[in-house]
Amino acid sequence: MWKNFNDFVTPSQPPKRRDSGSKAGTSTAQPPERRRSPRAPFTAGVIAVEPRSQTEIAAHTTDLSSCGCYLDTMNPLPERTEIDLQLTKSGKSFRAKARVVHCQPGVGMGLLFTEIAPEERPMLERWLAELRGESVPEPQGAANPEPWIDASPPKIPNPARTDEQAAIEELVSLLMRKHVVTEDEGEAILRRVRLSTEL
């Protein structure tokens, strides 16, 4: 006979609370974005051309590194698109082949430089050195760049007006993001700006 029912029953244990700092609670955290080289804020006028369709985008950079840059544009190209790229700042130009590695419709696109000719790299290195606060000599042969696309290319805007165009496009893009102007109104303004630079 059982002397007492409670002698044969093990009291239930309260459930253990899950520690919010445990692996289960932190396993979904996203790792920080990693880039091949750090980027620094940098504004330059840009002409990007997709060679097969001759699709041309006039935009401006927001940052720059030795491996790539980011373009602020309302109409970015799809990821993995290969393009010919020209950056122009203060009358100096840098050209390279690049690939779209990140696309944000209505915002911009991240580019990876895939091919840089030896004669183009000094200008890139000069800009990067200036961003680091270093003083570097003027690259030889960089004052008067030759046309960079052969066989009836899209028109390259006057370098003297590219910085002004980039500033206007940046302002219009900001107004569109803040809904001060509609997307149709903003696109109409951008088309007029780009057309005026080709005259």
Strands in 45-125 per DSSP E:
45-50, 55-64, 68-72, 82-89, 92-104, 108-115
Domain extent for 177: 40-134+156-198
Query: Does residue 19 fall inside a structural domain?
Result: no
Query: Does residue 172 fall inside a structural domain?
Result: yes
What's the pTM value of the predicted model, to 2 decimals?
Answer: 0.54
C-alpha to C-alpha distance for 41 and 134, rounded to whole angstroms: 15
* Amino acid (1-letter code) at residue 193: V
SS3 182: coil
Query: Does residue 147 fall inside a structural domain?
Result: no
CA atoms within 13 A on the CB side of 115: 6
Query: Does residue 63 fall inside a structural domain?
Result: yes
Query: Does residue 89 fall inside a structural domain?
Result: yes
Question: What is the domain-level CATH number for residue 171?
Answer: 2.40.10.220
Contact (Cβ atoms closer than 8 angstroms) between residue 87 and residue 43: no
CB atoms within 10 A of CB 166: 23
Query: Does residue 21 fall inside a structural domain?
Result: no
pLDDT in tens, 119-142: 999 999 999 999 988 876 665 554
C-alpha to C-alpha distance for 47 and 88, rounded to whole angstroms: 9
Query: Does residue 27 fall inside a structural domain?
Result: no
C-alpha to C-alpha distance for 38 and 16, rounded to whole angstroms: 45
* Amino acid (1-letter code) at residue 160: A
Residue percentage of the chain with pLDDT more than 70 = 65
Look at residues 78, 44, 38 and name the one whose alpha carbon lies nearest to residue 59.
44
Q: What confidence tier does 42 reach under pLDDT thresholds 50, 70, 90?
A: very high
pLDDT in tens, 48-73: 999 999 989 999 999 999 999 999 99
Q: CA 31, 34, 38: angle at the middle one, nearest 5?
A: 140
Average of pLDDT values for 75-87? 95
Q: What's residue 158's pLDDT?
A: 54
Q: What confidence tier does 159 reach under pLDDT thresholds 50, 70, 90?
A: low
If one counts the domains in the chain, the total is 1
Query: Does residue 90 fall inside a structural domain?
Result: yes
C-alpha to C-alpha distance for 172 and 178, rounded to whole angstroms: 10
